[in-house]
Structure 1
Amino acid sequence: MPAPLVGRKFGINAIPVPDRDNCRMIQVLGLSGSSRQQPGMSKSEKLLMRALERFAGFGCQTRFLRLKDLKIHDCEGNYSENPAYCTYPCQSSIKYDDDQMQVVYDSVLACDILILATPIRWNNHSALVQKFVERMNAIENQFSWFGNRMIRDKVAGMIIIGHVDGIQHVAGNLMNFFSWLGFHTPEVAIASWVGENDEDTTKDWAQIEGNRYTQEDLENLVTSSIRLACALKRHVAEETGTTGPGDR
Protein backbone atom coordinates (compact mmCIF):
# COMPACT_ATOMS: atom_id res chain seq x y z
CA MET A 1 0.00 0.00 0.00
CA PRO A 2 1.21 3.53 -0.67
CA ALA A 3 2.41 5.55 2.27
CA PRO A 4 -0.26 7.84 3.73
CA LEU A 5 -0.04 11.51 2.90
CA VAL A 6 1.13 13.33 6.00
CA GLY A 7 1.68 16.81 4.63
CA ARG A 8 3.74 18.74 2.19
CA LYS A 9 7.13 17.27 1.41
CA PHE A 10 9.93 19.69 2.22
CA GLY A 11 12.80 20.32 -0.18
CA ILE A 12 11.57 18.45 -3.25
CA ASN A 13 10.09 21.48 -5.02
CA ALA A 14 13.09 23.81 -4.87
CA ILE A 15 13.34 26.09 -7.90
CA PRO A 16 16.80 25.98 -9.54
CA VAL A 17 19.02 28.94 -8.72
CA PRO A 18 19.27 31.40 -11.64
CA ASP A 19 22.56 32.17 -13.34
CA ARG A 20 23.87 35.34 -11.71
CA ASP A 21 25.09 36.61 -15.07
CA ASN A 22 21.46 36.70 -16.17
CA CYS A 23 20.31 38.65 -13.11
CA ARG A 24 22.44 41.77 -13.27
CA MET A 25 19.99 43.87 -15.25
CA ILE A 26 16.85 42.73 -13.41
CA GLN A 27 15.16 45.58 -11.52
CA VAL A 28 13.20 44.51 -8.43
CA LEU A 29 10.72 46.70 -6.54
CA GLY A 30 9.68 45.75 -3.02
CA LEU A 31 6.44 47.45 -1.99
CA SER A 32 5.35 47.30 1.66
CA GLY A 33 1.66 47.68 2.44
CA SER A 34 2.00 47.53 6.21
CA SER A 35 0.71 50.38 8.36
CA ARG A 36 2.99 49.66 11.33
CA GLN A 37 4.35 52.87 12.82
CA GLN A 38 8.08 52.15 12.74
CA PRO A 39 10.37 50.32 10.30
CA GLY A 40 11.12 46.82 11.54
CA MET A 41 7.80 46.32 13.33
CA SER A 42 5.99 44.68 10.43
CA LYS A 43 6.50 40.96 9.88
CA SER A 44 5.40 41.11 6.25
CA GLU A 45 7.90 43.93 5.70
CA LYS A 46 10.67 41.97 7.42
CA LEU A 47 10.06 39.07 5.07
CA LEU A 48 10.00 41.48 2.13
CA MET A 49 13.38 42.91 3.15
CA ARG A 50 14.76 39.39 3.38
CA ALA A 51 13.49 38.70 -0.14
CA LEU A 52 15.14 41.88 -1.44
CA GLU A 53 18.41 40.82 0.17
CA ARG A 54 18.21 37.53 -1.71
CA PHE A 55 17.42 39.29 -4.98
CA ALA A 56 20.44 41.52 -4.42
CA GLY A 57 22.52 38.44 -3.66
CA PHE A 58 21.79 37.22 -7.18
CA GLY A 59 22.98 40.54 -8.59
CA CYS A 60 19.57 42.13 -9.13
CA GLN A 61 19.10 45.85 -8.56
CA THR A 62 16.53 46.45 -5.83
CA ARG A 63 14.38 49.32 -4.61
CA PHE A 64 12.15 49.45 -1.54
CA LEU A 65 9.07 51.63 -1.02
CA ARG A 66 6.85 51.82 2.04
CA LEU A 67 3.35 53.00 1.08
CA LYS A 68 2.85 54.39 4.58
CA ASP A 69 5.71 56.85 4.05
CA LEU A 70 4.05 58.43 1.01
CA LYS A 71 1.18 60.90 0.81
CA ILE A 72 -1.26 59.12 -1.48
CA HIS A 73 -4.72 60.56 -1.99
CA ASP A 74 -7.74 58.34 -2.44
CA CYS A 75 -8.93 57.28 -5.86
CA GLU A 76 -11.85 59.61 -6.61
CA GLY A 77 -13.62 57.20 -8.93
CA ASN A 78 -13.46 59.24 -12.12
CA TYR A 79 -13.87 56.01 -14.08
CA SER A 80 -17.39 55.61 -12.66
CA GLU A 81 -18.46 58.86 -14.31
CA ASN A 82 -16.73 58.21 -17.61
CA PRO A 83 -13.85 55.80 -18.41
CA ALA A 84 -12.23 58.56 -20.43
CA TYR A 85 -11.85 60.59 -17.21
CA CYS A 86 -9.60 57.91 -15.65
CA THR A 87 -6.32 59.01 -17.19
CA TYR A 88 -2.59 58.67 -16.79
CA PRO A 89 -1.15 60.75 -15.25
CA CYS A 90 -3.85 60.15 -12.65
CA GLN A 91 -6.25 63.04 -12.09
CA SER A 92 -5.51 62.94 -8.35
CA SER A 93 -1.80 63.38 -9.07
CA ILE A 94 -2.64 66.43 -11.16
CA LYS A 95 -5.22 67.82 -8.73
CA TYR A 96 -3.22 67.54 -5.48
CA ASP A 97 0.26 69.06 -5.35
CA ASP A 98 1.22 66.92 -2.35
CA ASP A 99 0.18 63.60 -3.89
CA GLN A 100 3.13 61.20 -4.14
CA MET A 101 1.55 58.33 -6.05
CA GLN A 102 3.69 59.22 -9.07
CA VAL A 103 6.68 57.90 -7.11
CA VAL A 104 4.92 54.53 -7.03
CA TYR A 105 3.87 54.70 -10.67
CA ASP A 106 7.42 55.47 -11.80
CA SER A 107 8.88 52.68 -9.67
CA VAL A 108 6.36 50.10 -10.89
CA LEU A 109 6.89 51.05 -14.53
CA ALA A 110 10.68 50.87 -14.12
CA CYS A 111 10.81 47.44 -12.45
CA ASP A 112 10.98 43.97 -13.95
CA ILE A 113 9.76 42.26 -10.76
CA LEU A 114 7.31 43.67 -8.22
CA ILE A 115 7.02 42.00 -4.82
CA LEU A 116 4.06 43.31 -2.82
CA ALA A 117 3.97 42.58 0.91
CA THR A 118 0.77 42.87 2.91
CA PRO A 119 -0.61 41.84 6.26
CA ILE A 120 -4.08 40.33 6.37
CA ARG A 121 -6.74 42.63 7.79
CA TRP A 122 -10.06 40.89 8.44
CA ASN A 123 -9.54 38.42 5.61
CA ASN A 124 -8.37 41.10 3.17
CA HIS A 125 -5.19 42.92 2.25
CA SER A 126 -4.37 46.14 4.10
CA ALA A 127 -6.10 49.48 3.51
CA LEU A 128 -2.83 50.87 2.15
CA VAL A 129 -2.67 48.10 -0.44
CA GLN A 130 -6.30 48.75 -1.36
CA LYS A 131 -5.50 52.42 -1.95
CA PHE A 132 -2.57 51.34 -4.16
CA VAL A 133 -4.84 48.95 -6.06
CA GLU A 134 -7.46 51.62 -6.70
CA ARG A 135 -4.95 54.26 -7.79
CA MET A 136 -3.35 51.74 -10.19
CA ASN A 137 -6.62 51.82 -12.11
CA ALA A 138 -5.12 54.77 -13.98
CA ILE A 139 -2.53 52.34 -15.37
CA GLU A 140 -4.98 49.51 -16.11
CA ASN A 141 -7.48 51.84 -17.79
CA GLN A 142 -4.82 52.99 -20.21
CA PHE A 143 -5.13 49.56 -21.82
CA SER A 144 -8.79 48.71 -21.30
CA TRP A 145 -10.10 52.08 -22.53
CA PHE A 146 -7.28 53.81 -24.42
CA GLY A 147 -5.50 50.73 -25.83
CA ASN A 148 -2.11 51.62 -24.34
CA ARG A 149 -0.54 48.64 -22.54
CA MET A 150 1.76 50.20 -19.90
CA ILE A 151 2.54 47.00 -17.96
CA ARG A 152 4.30 44.56 -20.25
CA ASP A 153 6.70 41.66 -19.61
CA LYS A 154 6.76 42.25 -15.85
CA VAL A 155 6.53 39.75 -12.99
CA ALA A 156 4.53 40.11 -9.76
CA GLY A 157 4.80 38.15 -6.52
CA MET A 158 3.32 38.47 -3.05
CA ILE A 159 4.24 38.12 0.60
CA ILE A 160 1.17 37.65 2.81
CA ILE A 161 1.25 37.38 6.59
CA GLY A 162 -1.78 36.93 8.84
CA HIS A 163 -3.26 35.49 11.99
CA VAL A 164 -6.34 33.25 11.88
CA ASP A 165 -7.10 34.67 8.45
CA GLY A 166 -7.28 33.42 4.86
CA ILE A 167 -4.21 33.74 2.66
CA GLN A 168 -5.88 32.26 -0.41
CA HIS A 169 -8.63 34.89 -0.39
CA VAL A 170 -6.10 37.74 -0.28
CA ALA A 171 -3.83 36.08 -2.84
CA GLY A 172 -6.75 35.46 -5.19
CA ASN A 173 -7.81 39.10 -5.11
CA LEU A 174 -4.28 40.38 -5.70
CA MET A 175 -3.48 37.87 -8.45
CA ASN A 176 -6.66 38.94 -10.25
CA PHE A 177 -5.56 42.58 -9.87
CA PHE A 178 -2.06 41.90 -11.20
CA SER A 179 -3.48 39.91 -14.11
CA TRP A 180 -5.71 42.79 -15.20
CA LEU A 181 -2.71 45.12 -15.05
CA GLY A 182 -0.73 42.82 -17.35
CA PHE A 183 1.74 41.24 -14.92
CA HIS A 184 2.93 37.65 -15.21
CA THR A 185 3.06 35.48 -12.08
CA PRO A 186 5.95 33.07 -11.49
CA GLU A 187 5.84 29.36 -10.69
CA VAL A 188 5.89 30.19 -6.98
CA ALA A 189 4.12 33.54 -6.64
CA ILE A 190 3.38 33.63 -2.92
CA ALA A 191 5.35 33.35 0.30
CA SER A 192 3.01 33.27 3.26
CA TRP A 193 2.45 32.42 6.90
CA VAL A 194 -0.66 32.22 9.08
CA GLY A 195 -0.41 32.18 12.86
CA GLU A 196 -2.13 29.94 15.35
CA ASN A 197 -5.62 30.65 16.62
CA ASP A 198 -4.34 31.64 20.07
CA GLU A 199 -3.69 35.07 18.49
CA ASP A 200 -0.48 35.55 20.47
CA THR A 201 1.31 37.75 17.93
CA THR A 202 4.34 38.25 20.19
CA LYS A 203 5.81 34.92 19.08
CA ASP A 204 5.01 35.26 15.37
CA TRP A 205 8.40 36.31 14.00
CA ALA A 206 10.25 33.48 15.69
CA GLN A 207 7.73 31.04 14.22
CA ILE A 208 8.00 32.62 10.77
CA GLU A 209 11.78 32.34 10.84
CA GLY A 210 11.53 28.76 12.06
CA ASN A 211 8.93 27.67 9.52
CA ARG A 212 10.90 25.88 6.84
CA TYR A 213 7.99 25.90 4.41
CA THR A 214 7.62 29.68 4.57
CA GLN A 215 11.37 30.05 4.12
CA GLU A 216 11.37 27.62 1.19
CA ASP A 217 8.48 29.50 -0.41
CA LEU A 218 10.36 32.78 0.01
CA GLU A 219 13.45 31.32 -1.65
CA ASN A 220 11.36 29.88 -4.48
CA LEU A 221 9.47 33.16 -4.89
CA VAL A 222 12.78 34.93 -5.46
CA THR A 223 14.32 32.38 -7.81
CA SER A 224 11.19 31.69 -9.85
CA SER A 225 10.53 35.43 -10.23
CA ILE A 226 14.05 35.98 -11.55
CA ARG A 227 13.82 33.03 -13.92
CA LEU A 228 10.53 34.29 -15.36
CA ALA A 229 11.80 37.88 -15.65
CA CYS A 230 14.88 36.65 -17.51
CA ALA A 231 12.74 34.50 -19.80
CA LEU A 232 10.50 37.46 -20.62
CA LYS A 233 13.53 39.62 -21.39
CA ARG A 234 14.94 36.92 -23.67
CA HIS A 235 11.58 36.70 -25.43
CA VAL A 236 11.53 40.46 -25.99
CA ALA A 237 15.13 40.34 -27.23
CA GLU A 238 14.26 37.60 -29.73
CA GLU A 239 11.25 39.55 -30.98
CA THR A 240 13.11 42.83 -31.35
CA GLY A 241 16.52 41.49 -32.36
CA THR A 242 18.21 43.13 -29.37
CA THR A 243 20.28 41.54 -26.63
CA GLY A 244 19.07 40.74 -23.13
CA PRO A 245 19.94 38.72 -20.01
CA GLY A 246 21.31 35.33 -20.93
CA ASP A 247 22.41 36.36 -24.43
CA ARG A 248 25.99 35.62 -25.34
Structure 2
Amino acid sequence: MANQDKECTTSQWDFSNLKALFLNCTLKRSPEKSHTRTLIDVAVAVMEKNGVSTEVIRPVDYKIAPGVYPDMKEQGWEEDQWPELWKKVQAADILVIGSPIWLGDKSSECTKVIERLYGQSGQLNEQGQYIYYGKVAGCIITGNEDGIKHCSMNILYSMQHLGCVIPPQADAGWIGEAGPGPSYGDDGIGLDNDFTQRNTTFMAWNLMHLARILKESKGIPVHGNQRSLWESGCRFDHPNPEYR
Protein backbone atom coordinates (compact mmCIF):
# COMPACT_ATOMS: atom_id res chain seq x y z
CA MET A 1 0.00 0.00 0.00
CA ALA A 2 2.88 2.36 0.78
CA ASN A 3 4.33 1.82 -2.70
CA GLN A 4 0.93 2.53 -4.26
CA ASP A 5 0.62 5.75 -2.28
CA LYS A 6 4.09 6.84 -3.41
CA GLU A 7 3.26 6.08 -7.04
CA CYS A 8 0.05 8.11 -6.83
CA THR A 9 1.56 11.16 -5.12
CA THR A 10 5.03 11.41 -6.66
CA SER A 11 5.69 12.86 -10.11
CA GLN A 12 9.11 12.70 -11.74
CA TRP A 13 8.15 15.01 -14.62
CA ASP A 14 8.31 18.76 -14.89
CA PHE A 15 5.24 20.28 -16.53
CA SER A 16 5.83 23.82 -15.30
CA ASN A 17 6.54 25.18 -18.79
CA LEU A 18 3.19 24.05 -20.17
CA LYS A 19 0.07 26.16 -20.72
CA ALA A 20 -3.42 24.67 -20.93
CA LEU A 21 -6.44 26.49 -22.30
CA PHE A 22 -9.93 25.15 -21.59
CA LEU A 23 -12.70 26.51 -23.83
CA ASN A 24 -15.95 25.86 -21.99
CA CYS A 25 -18.59 25.99 -24.71
CA THR A 26 -21.51 26.20 -22.32
CA LEU A 27 -24.49 28.29 -23.41
CA LYS A 28 -24.55 29.96 -19.99
CA ARG A 29 -22.82 33.29 -19.57
CA SER A 30 -20.72 34.01 -16.49
CA PRO A 31 -21.35 33.90 -13.59
CA GLU A 32 -24.21 31.43 -14.10
CA LYS A 33 -23.30 27.94 -12.92
CA SER A 34 -21.91 25.69 -15.63
CA HIS A 35 -21.97 21.94 -15.04
CA THR A 36 -19.38 21.52 -17.79
CA ARG A 37 -17.10 23.87 -15.85
CA THR A 38 -17.55 21.73 -12.74
CA LEU A 39 -16.06 18.73 -14.55
CA ILE A 40 -13.44 20.87 -16.26
CA ASP A 41 -12.26 21.89 -12.80
CA VAL A 42 -11.29 18.27 -12.07
CA ALA A 43 -8.80 18.31 -14.95
CA VAL A 44 -7.68 21.82 -14.04
CA ALA A 45 -6.91 20.69 -10.48
CA VAL A 46 -4.76 17.78 -11.71
CA MET A 47 -2.82 20.01 -14.07
CA GLU A 48 -2.31 22.86 -11.63
CA LYS A 49 -1.08 20.45 -8.95
CA ASN A 50 1.63 19.49 -11.43
CA GLY A 51 2.67 23.01 -12.33
CA VAL A 52 0.72 23.56 -15.56
CA SER A 53 -0.52 27.10 -16.12
CA THR A 54 -4.27 26.89 -16.84
CA GLU A 55 -7.00 29.23 -18.02
CA VAL A 56 -10.71 28.50 -18.48
CA ILE A 57 -12.73 30.69 -20.85
CA ARG A 58 -16.39 30.72 -21.81
CA PRO A 59 -16.55 31.79 -25.46
CA VAL A 60 -20.20 32.73 -24.91
CA ASP A 61 -18.94 35.64 -22.78
CA TYR A 62 -17.31 37.10 -25.90
CA LYS A 63 -18.85 38.60 -29.02
CA ILE A 64 -17.61 36.01 -31.49
CA ALA A 65 -18.99 36.28 -35.00
CA PRO A 66 -19.84 33.07 -36.89
CA GLY A 67 -17.63 32.19 -39.82
CA VAL A 68 -14.45 30.50 -40.95
CA TYR A 69 -12.11 33.47 -41.38
CA PRO A 70 -9.53 34.71 -38.84
CA ASP A 71 -11.26 38.09 -38.37
CA MET A 72 -14.88 38.31 -39.42
CA LYS A 73 -14.82 42.11 -39.26
CA GLU A 74 -13.03 41.86 -42.59
CA GLN A 75 -16.08 39.97 -43.86
CA GLY A 76 -18.52 42.70 -42.89
CA TRP A 77 -19.26 41.93 -39.24
CA GLU A 78 -19.25 45.01 -37.03
CA GLU A 79 -17.69 43.24 -34.06
CA ASP A 80 -15.62 40.11 -33.58
CA GLN A 81 -13.61 39.28 -30.46
CA TRP A 82 -12.24 36.00 -31.82
CA PRO A 83 -8.81 37.53 -32.60
CA GLU A 84 -8.50 38.25 -28.87
CA LEU A 85 -9.16 34.59 -28.02
CA TRP A 86 -6.92 33.39 -30.83
CA LYS A 87 -3.90 34.87 -29.05
CA LYS A 88 -4.66 32.61 -26.08
CA VAL A 89 -5.09 29.59 -28.33
CA GLN A 90 -1.74 30.31 -29.95
CA ALA A 91 0.00 30.46 -26.57
CA ALA A 92 -1.45 27.15 -25.33
CA ASP A 93 0.32 23.80 -25.48
CA ILE A 94 -2.83 21.97 -24.39
CA LEU A 95 -6.27 22.81 -25.75
CA VAL A 96 -9.35 21.24 -24.15
CA ILE A 97 -12.84 21.79 -25.58
CA GLY A 98 -15.70 21.43 -23.11
CA SER A 99 -19.32 21.15 -24.21
CA PRO A 100 -22.75 20.25 -22.89
CA ILE A 101 -24.94 17.88 -24.89
CA TRP A 102 -28.02 19.37 -26.56
CA LEU A 103 -30.25 17.28 -28.84
CA GLY A 104 -27.60 14.57 -28.77
CA ASP A 105 -24.85 16.82 -30.09
CA LYS A 106 -22.27 19.37 -28.98
CA SER A 107 -23.50 22.88 -28.28
CA SER A 108 -23.96 25.52 -30.96
CA GLU A 109 -21.26 27.53 -29.21
CA CYS A 110 -18.87 24.58 -29.57
CA THR A 111 -19.62 24.33 -33.28
CA LYS A 112 -18.90 28.04 -33.69
CA VAL A 113 -15.62 27.77 -31.79
CA ILE A 114 -14.43 24.85 -33.91
CA GLU A 115 -15.38 26.75 -37.07
CA ARG A 116 -13.32 29.72 -35.90
CA LEU A 117 -10.40 27.43 -35.01
CA TYR A 118 -10.72 26.04 -38.52
CA GLY A 119 -10.51 29.55 -39.91
CA GLN A 120 -6.95 29.76 -38.59
CA SER A 121 -5.89 26.35 -39.91
CA GLY A 122 -4.38 27.65 -43.13
CA GLN A 123 -1.72 29.56 -41.24
CA LEU A 124 1.76 28.11 -40.85
CA ASN A 125 4.17 27.98 -37.93
CA GLU A 126 7.82 29.08 -38.06
CA GLN A 127 8.82 25.72 -39.52
CA GLY A 128 6.34 25.87 -42.39
CA GLN A 129 3.91 23.38 -40.84
CA TYR A 130 0.24 24.02 -40.14
CA ILE A 131 -0.25 26.31 -37.15
CA TYR A 132 -1.72 23.71 -34.76
CA TYR A 133 1.21 21.29 -35.11
CA GLY A 134 2.76 20.72 -31.70
CA LYS A 135 -0.44 21.28 -29.70
CA VAL A 136 -2.37 18.49 -28.00
CA ALA A 137 -6.15 18.45 -27.64
CA GLY A 138 -8.84 16.77 -25.57
CA CYS A 139 -12.50 17.25 -24.72
CA ILE A 140 -14.89 17.16 -21.76
CA ILE A 141 -18.63 16.52 -22.21
CA THR A 142 -21.57 16.78 -19.79
CA GLY A 143 -25.32 16.36 -20.15
CA ASN A 144 -28.56 14.59 -19.33
CA GLU A 145 -28.78 12.45 -22.45
CA ASP A 146 -26.69 10.03 -24.47
CA GLY A 147 -23.98 11.58 -26.60
CA ILE A 148 -20.60 11.64 -24.84
CA LYS A 149 -18.91 9.42 -27.42
CA HIS A 150 -20.69 11.04 -30.35
CA CYS A 151 -19.65 14.55 -29.28
CA SER A 152 -16.12 13.40 -28.45
CA MET A 153 -15.66 11.73 -31.83
CA ASN A 154 -16.77 14.88 -33.60
CA ILE A 155 -14.64 17.26 -31.53
CA LEU A 156 -11.49 15.12 -31.46
CA TYR A 157 -11.70 14.40 -35.18
CA SER A 158 -12.01 18.13 -35.84
CA MET A 159 -9.02 18.95 -33.64
CA GLN A 160 -6.73 16.35 -35.20
CA HIS A 161 -7.82 17.45 -38.66
CA LEU A 162 -6.68 20.96 -37.79
CA GLY A 163 -3.28 19.57 -36.79
CA CYS A 164 -3.47 18.91 -33.05
CA VAL A 165 -2.16 15.64 -31.62
CA ILE A 166 -4.70 13.53 -29.71
CA PRO A 167 -3.29 11.36 -26.89
CA PRO A 168 -4.88 8.12 -25.65
CA GLN A 169 -8.02 8.56 -23.56
CA ALA A 170 -8.38 12.21 -24.57
CA ASP A 171 -12.07 12.52 -23.70
CA ALA A 172 -14.05 12.44 -20.48
CA GLY A 173 -17.68 13.06 -19.62
CA TRP A 174 -20.70 12.51 -17.45
CA ILE A 175 -24.39 12.06 -18.28
CA GLY A 176 -27.20 11.63 -15.82
CA GLU A 177 -30.46 9.80 -16.20
CA ALA A 178 -32.04 10.48 -19.58
CA GLY A 179 -34.43 13.41 -19.50
CA PRO A 180 -34.74 16.45 -17.25
CA GLY A 181 -33.00 16.08 -13.92
CA PRO A 182 -29.84 16.92 -11.95
CA SER A 183 -26.69 17.66 -13.92
CA TYR A 184 -23.07 17.02 -13.01
CA GLY A 185 -22.25 18.63 -9.68
CA ASP A 186 -25.85 19.35 -8.57
CA ASP A 187 -25.99 18.31 -4.90
CA GLY A 188 -22.83 16.29 -5.44
CA ILE A 189 -24.30 14.33 -8.35
CA GLY A 190 -21.60 12.55 -10.36
CA LEU A 191 -18.70 13.64 -8.16
CA ASP A 192 -18.26 10.07 -6.92
CA ASN A 193 -18.69 8.45 -10.34
CA ASP A 194 -15.56 6.32 -10.71
CA PHE A 195 -15.72 6.08 -14.52
CA THR A 196 -15.93 9.85 -14.94
CA GLN A 197 -13.29 10.67 -12.35
CA ARG A 198 -10.89 8.07 -13.73
CA ASN A 199 -11.27 9.15 -17.35
CA THR A 200 -10.93 12.84 -16.49
CA THR A 201 -7.76 12.18 -14.50
CA PHE A 202 -6.28 9.92 -17.20
CA MET A 203 -7.11 12.54 -19.83
CA ALA A 204 -5.35 15.28 -17.85
CA TRP A 205 -2.21 13.20 -17.39
CA ASN A 206 -2.10 12.00 -21.00
CA LEU A 207 -2.44 15.56 -22.25
CA MET A 208 0.38 16.69 -19.96
CA HIS A 209 2.65 13.79 -20.90
CA LEU A 210 2.19 14.25 -24.65
CA ALA A 211 2.47 18.04 -24.47
CA ARG A 212 5.75 17.70 -22.54
CA ILE A 213 7.13 15.20 -25.06
CA LEU A 214 6.24 17.50 -27.96
CA LYS A 215 7.64 20.55 -26.18
CA GLU A 216 10.94 18.86 -25.45
CA SER A 217 11.13 17.52 -29.01
CA LYS A 218 10.34 20.97 -30.42
CA GLY A 219 7.12 19.71 -31.97
CA ILE A 220 6.47 17.31 -34.83
CA PRO A 221 9.53 16.70 -37.08
CA VAL A 222 9.23 18.89 -40.16
CA HIS A 223 10.17 16.41 -42.88
CA GLY A 224 7.21 15.27 -44.94
CA ASN A 225 4.68 17.85 -43.76
CA GLN A 226 5.83 21.29 -44.94
CA ARG A 227 3.26 22.82 -47.25
CA SER A 228 5.70 25.32 -48.79
CA LEU A 229 8.01 22.53 -49.94
CA TRP A 230 5.10 20.51 -51.32
CA GLU A 231 3.93 23.52 -53.28
CA SER A 232 7.45 24.04 -54.65
CA GLY A 233 7.52 20.48 -55.98
CA CYS A 234 8.96 18.33 -53.20
CA ARG A 235 6.91 15.13 -52.99
CA PHE A 236 8.47 13.48 -49.88
CA ASP A 237 8.68 9.96 -51.34
CA HIS A 238 5.17 10.03 -52.80
CA PRO A 239 4.93 6.64 -54.60
CA ASN A 240 3.44 7.85 -57.90
CA PRO A 241 6.33 9.02 -60.13
CA GLU A 242 3.86 10.50 -62.61
CA TYR A 243 2.49 12.90 -60.03
CA ARG A 244 4.39 16.14 -60.04
TM bucket normalised to smaller: 0.7 to 0.9
1:87-236 correspondence runs (5 A): 90-94=70-74, 95-96=76-77, 98-142=79-123, 149-201=130-182, 205=186, 206-236=188-218
Report the aligned-residue RMSD.
2.6
The answer to whether 1:70 aligns with 2:51 is: no
Overall identity of the aligned pairs, in %: 26
User: Which residue, out of 23, 29, 51, partners 1:59?
Assistant: 51
Q: Which residue of 2 aligns with 1:42?
A: 34
Cα distance in structure 2, aligned partners of 1:168 and 1:18: 32
Q: Retained in 2: the 8 A contact 1:48–1:159?
A: yes
Residue 97 of structure 2 aligns to a residue whose secondary structure is: strand
Dislocated runs of 4+, deviation >6 Å: 15-18, 237-240
Consecutive unaligned residues of structure 1, counting only runs of 5 or more, are 1-14, 78-85, 241-248
Q: Which moved more, 1:120-129 or 1:134-143?
A: 134-143
Q: Can you list the C-alpha shifts for 1:158-199, whole angstroms capped at 9, x where unaligned?
A: 100121221111111111100111011122201111111253
Cα distance in structure 2, aligned partners of 1:181 and 1:238: 14
Residue 116 of structure 1 aligns to a residue whose secondary structure is: strand
The one-letter amino acid paired with 1:111 is: A
Cα distance in structure 2, aligned partners of 1:45 and 1:203: 10
Q: Retained in 1: the 8 A contact 2:174–2:184?
A: no
Structure 1 residue 118, shift from structure 2 partner: 0.4
User: Which residue, out of 2, 14, 34, partners 1:22?
Assistant: 14
Residue 57 of structure 2 aligns to a residue whose secondary structure is: strand
Q: What is the TM-score normalised by the length of structure 2?
A: 0.77
Higher helix proportion (structure 1 or 2): 1
Q: Retained in 1: the 8 A contact 2:36–2:184?
A: no
Distance 1:202 1:141, change over 3 A: closer
Q: Can you list the C-alpha shifts for 1:97-154, whole angstroms capped at 9, x where unaligned?
A: 53110122111111000111100011111111111111222212336xxx75111111
Q: Which residue of 2 aligns with 1:4?
A: none
Distance 1:68 1:140, change over 3 A: same
Distance 1:203 1:74, change over 3 A: closer
Residue 165 of structure 2 aligns to a residue whose secondary structure is: coil
The number of aligned residues is 211
Q: Can you list the C-alpha shifts for 1:185-238, whole angstroms capped at 9, x where unaligned?
A: 122201111111253126763232020111111111111110011111122289
Q: Retained in 1: the 8 A contact 2:144–2:183?
A: no
Q: Retained in 1: the 8 A contact 2:100–2:141?
A: yes
Q: Retained in 1: the 8 A contact 2:139–2:170?
A: yes
The one-letter amino acid paired with 2:82 is: M
Q: Which residue of 2 aligns with 1:82?
A: none
Q: Which residue of 1 aligns with 2:3?
A: none
Distance 1:152 1:231, change over 3 A: same
Structure 1 residue 55, shift from structure 2 partner: 1.0
Q: Can you list the C-alpha shifts for 1:78-99, whole angstroms capped at 9, x where unaligned?
A: xxxxxxxx5xxx2404344531
The one-letter amino acid paired with 2:42 is: R
